[in-house]
Amino acid sequence: MMLPVELYQGEEALKADRARILRRTWQFVGHVSMLAAKGDYIADVVGGAPVVVVRNDEGLAAFHNVCRHRAGGLVADGTGNCGGQFVCRYHGWRYMLDGRLRSAVDFGQAPGFDPRNFSLYPIRVDTWRGMVFVNLDMAAAPLADMMAPLDRRWAADLPEFGLTEQRTHHIGCNWKTYVENYLEGYHLPMVHPEFDEDIVVSDYQVEIEGEIVFHAAPARDGSVNAGLWAWMWPNLAINTYRHGYMVERMTATGPDSTRLDYFYFFDPARTAELAEMFVVSDRVTAQDKDICEMVQRNLAAGVYRPGVLSPKHEAGIAWFQSRVAEHHDGPTPLAAVS
Ligand code: FES
Ligand SMILES: [Fe+2]
């Protein structure tokens, strides 16, 4: 099966993807090294919803970045330290780092107002090998369940390096167009002809286990690439290199715009290899951007109807599309997430 073209464009499709998929799955927001001290926070937008993760006395906590008074924001998007409390940027309500309202500053006497009923809206937060994830679905299965296949296969392939560098790219296509491109190696000879110098493209393998699609190809001697990639439902990938790895987050920023955030974790002693890896990574991203934007333009042109997937090369896409279809088959749980 292939998904209808309408799912790749328009505000309605994006709204449904956010409600049914992106707000109900584990979403990577950063690394624990970005949350080392009490009050350190990461504020981001997940499935269209502003969220904040903070370190408090107990560990990590996460909330909607939305004040209970009149929906002001607690902190600006990005990273920083908020001290021992959140102070709403609108009228200054103060919240403890566990989400409880400490003080509705200079509010006056409102009949029946009980600050205990105005804690921040909580969300789930969990970590895996130093990577921090949130989930807006309080009933979601644990993060560890999703990562179990990766633990089994790659325990030794992800050494504990700190965050070396972060880079962002913008692509003019639906997030699923980009994901599907990521999920197959079929396009490598045409789109990335240089790849064959790094890996044996003809031996490219795709395997699915749980919610993870593993890709592997033998790496050639002297290549910066390690020839192992893992993509996790619904929008995250880990790309390995000989001396580190990169976490790639694919965020839907609009119906036909996607932001790629690359988080590099690299052996700090390997500066030459790191520079070479950036050259490879930037080249591959530019090539994928061109092809994905071409596909998006053609999807929007109104002539294309679902084609056919290669059983040999595109099993990862077939799996992804069946998961997307499963999530779209039912009432939109907007009330539960908005
Ligand atoms: S909206 Fe936060 S204090 Fe008013
Ligand atoms: Fe590609």
Ligand 2 centre from 187 Cα, in Å?
7
Ligand 2 centre from 308 Cα, in Å?
19
- Do residue 266 and residue 180 come from a single domain? yes
Q: CB neighbours of 136 closer than 8 A, spacing ≥ 6?
A: 23, 24, 27, 46, 47, 49, 51, 123, 124, 337
Residue 39 lies in a domain: yes
Atom of ligand 1 nearest to the CA of 72: 1
Ligand 1 pocket member 89 (CB < 6 A) = no
- Do residue 174 and residue 69 come from a single domain? no
Mean pLDDT of 113-142: 96
- Beta strand pairing status for 27-31 and 131-135? antiparallel
- Do residue 34 and residue 72 come from a single domain? yes
Q: Distance (Å, rounded) from C-alpha 9 to C-alpha 173?
A: 9
Q: Which residue has the tokens 């299965």?
A: 141
- Asked whether the predicted pLDDT for residue 338 surpasses 50, the reply is no
Q: How far is CA 78 from each of CA 65, 74, 102, 247, rounded to the nearest angstrom? A: 12, 12, 24, 18
pLDDT on residue 337: 34
Residue 10 lies in a domain: no
pLDDT on residue 330: 61
pLDDT digits (tens, 9 = 90+) for 192-226: 999 888 899 999 999 999 999 999 999 999 888 88
Residue 6 lies in a domain: no
Q: Residues 323, 1: contact at Cβ < 8 Å?
A: no
In the chain, the percentage of residues whose pLDDT exceeds 70 is 97
- Asked whether the predicted pLDDT for residue 82 surpasses 50, the reply is yes
Ligand 1 centre from 92 Cα, in Å?
6
One-letter amino acid of 219: A
Q: Is 10 exposed, middle or buried (0-12, 13-18, 19+ CB in 10 A)?
A: middle
Ligand 1 pocket member 87 (CB < 6 A) = no
Mean pLDDT of 270-294: 94
- Do residue 194 and residue 320 come from a single domain? yes
- Asked whether the predicted pLDDT for residue 189 surpasses 90, the reply is yes
- 187: which 2 tokens? 């396009």
- 30: which 2 tokens? 């950063």
pLDDT on residue 160: 82
Residue 336 lies in a domain: no
Query: Average pLDDT, whole number, for the chain?
Result: 94
- Do residue 251 and residue 160 come from a single domain? yes
Ligand 1 centre from 67 Cα, in Å?
6
- Do residue 190 and residue 324 come from a single domain? yes
- Asked whether the predicted pLDDT for residue 130 surpasses 70, the reply is yes
- Closest residue (by CA) to atom 4 of ligand 1? 91
Mean pLDDT of 36-44: 98
pLDDT digits (tens, 9 = 90+) for 171-183: 999 999 999 999 9
Hey, which of 88, 113, 120 would you mutate to test ligand 1's pocket, going by the most ligand atoms within 8 Å of its Cβ? 88
- Do residue 194 and residue 261 come from a single domain? yes
pLDDT on residue 224: 87
- Do residue 199 and residue 298 come from a single domain? yes
- Do residue 74 and residue 168 come from a single domain? no
Q: Which residue has the tokens 């694919």?
A: 250
Ligand 2 centre from 292 Cα, in Å?
9
- Asked whether the predicted pLDDT for residue 314 surpasses 60, the reply is yes
CATH at 190:
3.90.380.10
- The candidate with the shortest Cα–Cα distance to 61, out of 81, 35, 27, 31, is 35
DSSP character for 16? H
Give the ligand whose atoms come closest to the C-alpha of residue 182: 2
Please tell me the total number of residues recorded for the chain in this structure: 338
Domains held by the chain: number: 2
Q: Distance (Å, rounded) from C-alpha 102 to C-alpha 189?
A: 59
- Do residue 305 and residue 203 come from a single domain? yes
At 297 the three-state DSSP class reads helix
Q: Which residue has the higher pLDDT, 222 or 262?
A: 262
Radius of gyration of the chain (CA): 21
Ligand 1 pocket member 72 (CB < 6 A) = yes
Atom of ligand 1 nearest to the CA of 70: 1
- Asked whether the predicted pLDDT for residue 333 surpasses 80, the reply is no
Residue 15 lies in a domain: no
Mean pLDDT of 44-64: 98
- Do residue 42 and residue 179 come from a single domain? no
Hey, which of 69, 102, 107, 120 would you mutate to test ligand 1's pocket, going by the most ligand atoms within 8 Å of its Cβ? 69
- The candidate with the shortest Cα–Cα distance to 187, out of 175, 195, 176, 199, is 195
Residue 95 lies in a domain: yes
Q: CB neighbours of 17 closer than 8 A, spacing ≥ 6?
A: 7, 175, 176, 252, 324
Residue 89 lies in a domain: yes
At 44 the three-state DSSP class reads strand
Nearest-5° angle of CA 53, CA 159, CA 56?
Answer: 20
Residue 326's CB: how many other CB atoms inside 10 A? 11
Q: How far is CA 330 from each of CA 252, 324, 326, 327, rounded to the nearest angstrom? A: 22, 12, 8, 7
Ligand 1 centre from 104 Cα, in Å?
9
Torsion sign (Cα): 97, 103, 107, 109: positive
Name the band, by pLDDT with cuts 50, 70 and 90, for residue 184: very high
**What is the edge-to-edge ordering of all strands in the sheet holding 212-216?**
163-171, 257-266, 244-254, 236-241, 225-232, 212-216, 205-209
Domain with 194, as residue range(s), is 150-328
pLDDT on residue 1: 66
pLDDT on residue 154: 87
pTM summary value: 0.94
Hey, which of 63, 66, 70 would you mutate to test ligand 1's pocket, going by the most ligand atoms within 8 Å of its Cβ? 70
Atom of ligand 1 nearest to the CA of 67: 2
Residue 9 lies in a domain: no
Q: Distance (Å, rounded) from C-alpha 40 to C-alpha 21?
A: 28
CATH at 68:
2.102.10.10
Name the band, by pLDDT with cuts 50, 70 and 90, for residue 158: confident
- 171: which 2 tokens? 């692509």
Cα torsion through 187, 204, 324, 257, rounded to 10: -40
- Do residue 161 and residue 299 come from a single domain? yes
pLDDT digits (tens, 9 = 90+) for 90-122: 999 999 999 999 999 999 989 999 999 999 999
In the chain, the percentage of residues whose pLDDT exceeds 90 is 87
